[in-house]
Amino acid sequence: MTRKHLLIFISLLFCSDAFGQRTTEFRPQFKESTKTTHKIKKDQAYTFGYMEVLENRQDPNSRTIEFPVYIFKSRSKNPKKDPIIYTVGGPGSSTMSSAQYMNYYKYLDDRDFILVEQRGNYYAKPHLECPEWSEAIYKSNQPNFDPDKYDQLFEQAARFCKERLSQKGIDFNGYNTNEIAADINDLVDVLGIEEYNLLTISYSTKIAQVLLRDYPEKIRSVVMDSPLPLEVNYDEESVQNLVESVSTLLSDCAKDEKCATAYPDLKNRFFQYLTEKTITPLKVVVEHPQNGELETFYLRGKDLITVFTSAYTGDVPDIPFEINKLLNNDLSSVKEKLTYLFQEPGNGAGIGMRLSVWCAEEQPFNSLAIIKRETTNYPELKGLTPAVFTDDVCKIWNVKKMAKVENQAVRSATPVLFINGEYDNETPVKWAKSMTDNFENSHHIIFKGWKHTPTTNWGNTCAMKTANHFFNNPNEKPNLECLTQIGRPQFKIE
């Protein structure tokens, strides 16, 4: 190599390298792209591109990463200047699939609508996928699996996934709620947005809380659908919340004359049934959909509760009917669900992202004593652990514990609308109620008979309309006509 070529080579090294490392001062940037994640309808105007940011803002030598962004143009001829930024839950879920359905989103009637993929998720670069974890889920659900090997199986999956992603140079400490909030703040600055609104659901409501705490200046209003408060320790309460939600629904059945007559004393009978099957599991024989062989499952209360947990808002009216079928030993619905367990495992989309977030900012604040107690506290669901990830799995993932402030309540005067489904066991109504004290300019709307994330209920778009009305009038509580039409579910009767 000549001296001239050597100098050129050295100068290139000081600019960047093949792995996204940088040695000059970095500035976030948005790069437009003609290659989108999904096919967009021809009549929908939009801009698509990738936001380039630092992987770990706490590391001065951090490499850069990218996440995709859609900027959908409003259908209005005179759109309002404050767009809505939308990102979904998980953690680990992709926002990008929403891009295909913009004609259904009411928000575009008034303003631009921006979809943001959280770093580490499916369409981001890199994507922290863990197919090893999906394979472990598949194996653990097979009828011949030894439950004593359950923890070992998932610890091994976490270890293999961590090792594989580490070889790609992933800095796992860069994947958390604080970094995502900073990503959105950088996007707002780069796009030159002077004021914006936030639409968040489930886990992403934590992102909204961090943005309100750390970058509040440009936020005009926020909708938190099915909020998860920063100060709540999710794992410690999840089994209790499930029992309470099922109890609420079945109590409503008892208050309904037709439901109570058709299914007398359903709540007590169902909980007693779950307890009995926890002691003596229910034997269910199903035909393997691929090879036709008969497979035998033994189901306990923690397995049979899926008659509630697997239901969406549109399924709510059928839940007492389905429970009654189960109590009468009609196992047709149970067998149908069990056949899905034979489907090939997925690609583990976003699991690495989920592990990084949970092991850094949820699991460290859990009380292991409470977790242990909750696993045995309810005889009808005994053995159902409330922990999303075990302590040993998080030790394997080995990310830094977040500061205590990430487990403390946020206070804000920014207009906020909290939305809940009445029967939501994942983010129960009581959590949002507790948050209203800290958000002095907030409103709370509960959708009777609905479950998780009401704004995504395509069978009834009232929650979406309500959110959009709030964005247009953030200082008043929405009072739409559709809200008056939502009452108790009309339970299905045999």
Delineate the domains of the chain, giving CATH numbers in brackets: 30-126+170-231+408-494 (3.40.50.1820), 129-166+233-407 (no CATH)
The two beta strands, 442-447 and 80-87, are unpaired
In this structure, are residues 172 and 356 in contact, taking their beta carbons and an 8 Å threshold? yes
- The DSSP element (H or E) to which 83 belongs, if any, is strand 80-87
pTM here is: 0.94
End-to-end CA distance of the chain: 85
User: Quick one: pLDDT at residue 25?
Assistant: 84
> Does the bond joining 91 to the residue before it have cis omega, within 30 degrees of 0?
yes
What are the 10-residue block averages of pLDDT along the chain, 494 residues in total? 36 38 79 97 96 96 97 97 97 97 96 98 98 98 94 98 98 98 98 98 98 98 98 97 98 98 98 98 95 95 97 97 98 96 95 98 96 96 96 98 98 98 98 97 98 97 98 96 94 92
pLDDT, residue 2, reads 41
Half-sphere exposure of 36 (CA within 13 A, CB side): 17
The pLDDT value recorded for residue 15 is 37
**Distance from C-alpha of 168 to C-alpha of 259, rounded to nearest angstrom:** 56
Rounded to 5 degrees, what are φ and ψ at 198? -115, 135
| Alpha-carbon span 405 to 178, nearest angstrom | 11
Length of the chain: 494
The amino acid sitting at 210 is: V
Q: Which two tokens stand for residue 292?
A: 């036709």
423: helix, strand or coil: coil
| Burial of 28 (C-beta count, 10 Å sphere; 0-12/13-18/19+) | middle
Rg (CA), the chain: 24
219-225 and 416-421 beta bridge pairing: parallel
pLDDT attached to residue 20: 52
What pLDDT score was predicted for residue 4? 37
Contact of 333 with 325, CB cutoff 8 Å: yes
**Rounded to 5°, angle at Cα 134 from 133 and 137:** 90
Helices 319-327 and 266-279: crossing angle in degrees, nearest 10, is 50
Give the pLDDT score at 14.
34
